Amino acid sequence: MKILSVIGARPQFIKAAPLSKELRKKFKEVLVHTGQHYDYGMSPIFFQELSIPQPDYNLGVGSGSHAQQTGQMIASLEKVLEKEKPNMVLVYGDTNSTIAAALVAAKLPIPIAHVESGLRSFNRDMPEEINRVVTDHLSQLLFCPTETAAENLRQEGITRGIHNVGDVMYDALIFYKKLAEQKSEILKNLILKPKSYLFATIHRAENTDKEAKVENIFQAFGESAEVIILPIHPRTKKMLKQFKIKTPRNVRIIEPLGYLDSLQLQSNAKKVLTDSGGIQKEAYLLKVPCITLRNETEWVETVKDGWNVLVGSDKSKIIKAINDSRPRKNQSKHYGYGSSSKKITNIIEEYLRNNA
Ligand code: UD1
């Protein structure tokens, strides 16, 4: 049996690392990289550090408008799927690579497995929300990371193929955290002591593309008394230049990080500031309080448990959250037990056996 997995952006490489290992124990896996992320620090570093098998195809699509990028992926993926004729196409998360692969597979038709299914921000201004909703409604196997995600799908009328398998990023975190502790030299290189700094990331278009929002966020950072380490996404770098925003002195901008350095910096931070989805959850699992620079989150459990607070780009809310030193509550196993990759592989095997 042949599974064709499609990846293209940073978080998808991290999710593919543990799952690809498991899938290859039972199936032939063909790995396709769309080329959505391509810089060394955005793509190749993840394949090296996480020992992800080299992709069988790299479509080299690169950046562009949503329609251009997604359209090019669709055209190229169709050729690959027609040639490879897989028994199932596996897609991850909510990027343009995800929706492109799902659309092509659905029309051939080839069954689709969606990893990280059912997440919702209920904000259709986010391109990711459109990508998720469409992909979920085209998929035969919907692998949800949480019970909230599974319930979201039921609310949308999906009745078949929903499986709460826990979060595959938790599998990755458990495996690579030990490696990060052994191998990462990022604290030494940046001359940082544990718990002496905040770790920040900003990349969402809803923040980076609005001058007032970027300005508010950086002003809030500048008015805090903390050292803030900010690995910069290429789009954020471009927009800071375009808006002529000066970096405050307490903010240290560094190049994008690989997964091991990122885990190491996060787990030793006093707090995390982010608009990423994956990092909110990583912070929770690493027991580091998180401040989310958005008005809604798909990872509602992190907020309910008191480990995450939504502040949008509101300057006073950001500063208040940075200074808040309330103790955090106990955590629950919302994201499973780190055995998601095994569960997904077994469910796919059973599905293919029954639908051969
Ligand atoms: C994408 C996903 C987002 C995910 C994120 C993870 C979509 C719609 N969004 O956002 O869900 O959270 O990946 O990081 O798919 N660029 C480079 N070098 C690269 C890659 C990108 O310079 O290697 C620059 C380009 O200017 C590009 C911009 O970053 O236009 C945005 O990249 P893109 O892949 O469109 O979206 P992300 O913001 O990375």
- Expressed in angstroms and rounded, the spacing between residue 346 Cα and the centre of ligand 1 is 32
329-337 mean pLDDT: 93
* 15 C-beta closer than 6 A to ligand 1: no
For residue range 41-66, list pLDDT tens digits in order.
999 999 999 999 999 999 999 999 99
- Catalytic residue at 203? yes
- Is residue 94 helix, strand or coil? coil
- Expressed in angstroms and rounded, the spacing between residue 119 Cα and the centre of ligand 1 is 19
Name the residue of 37, 92, 132, 255 whose CB sits within 8 Å of the most ligand 1 atoms, as the mutation to test its pocket: 37
* 10 C-beta closer than 6 A to ligand 1: yes
Catalytic pick among 33, 37, 203, 233: 203
pLDDT value for 327: 80
Query: Can you give the pTM of this predicted structure?
Result: 0.96
For residue range 201-230, list pLDDT tens digits in order.
999 999 999 999 999 999 999 999 999 999
Has residue 356 got a pLDDT over 80?
A: no
Name the percent of the chain in helix, strand, coil, to the closest 5.
Answer: 45, 15, 40
Q: Are 7 and 97 in contact (CB under 8 A)?
A: yes
Alpha-helical regions (H) of 108-233: 127-138, 147-155, 168-183, 186-189, 205-208, 211-223
**Could you identify the residue written with the tokens 């991290």?**
14
CA 177 from centroid of its chain's CA atoms:
17
pLDDT band for position 323 (cuts 50, 70, 90): very high
pLDDT value for 325: 87
For residue range 269-297, list pLDDT tens digits in order.
999 999 999 999 999 999 999 999 999 99
7-14 mean pLDDT: 97
pLDDT band for position 328 (cuts 50, 70, 90): confident
Q: Are 323 and 317 in contact (CB under 8 A)?
A: no
pLDDT value for 205: 93
- Expressed in angstroms and rounded, the spacing between residue 276 Cα and the centre of ligand 1 is 12
pLDDT value for 250: 97
Q: Are 274 and 201 in contact (CB under 8 A)?
A: yes
8-state DSSP, 305 = T
pLDDT value for 50: 95
Residue nearest to atom 3 of ligand 1 (CA): 95
The Cα-based distances of 71 to 74, 223, 298, 304 in angstroms read 5, 43, 27, 39
* 127 C-beta closer than 6 A to ligand 1: yes
For residue range 83-110, list pLDDT tens digits in order.
999 999 999 999 999 999 999 999 999 9
CA angle centred on 54, ends 48 and 55, rounded to 5°: 135
pLDDT band for position 266 (cuts 50, 70, 90): very high
112-137 mean pLDDT: 97
Share the mean pLDDT of the chain. 97
The Cα-based distances of 148 to 15, 52, 144 in angstroms read 20, 30, 9
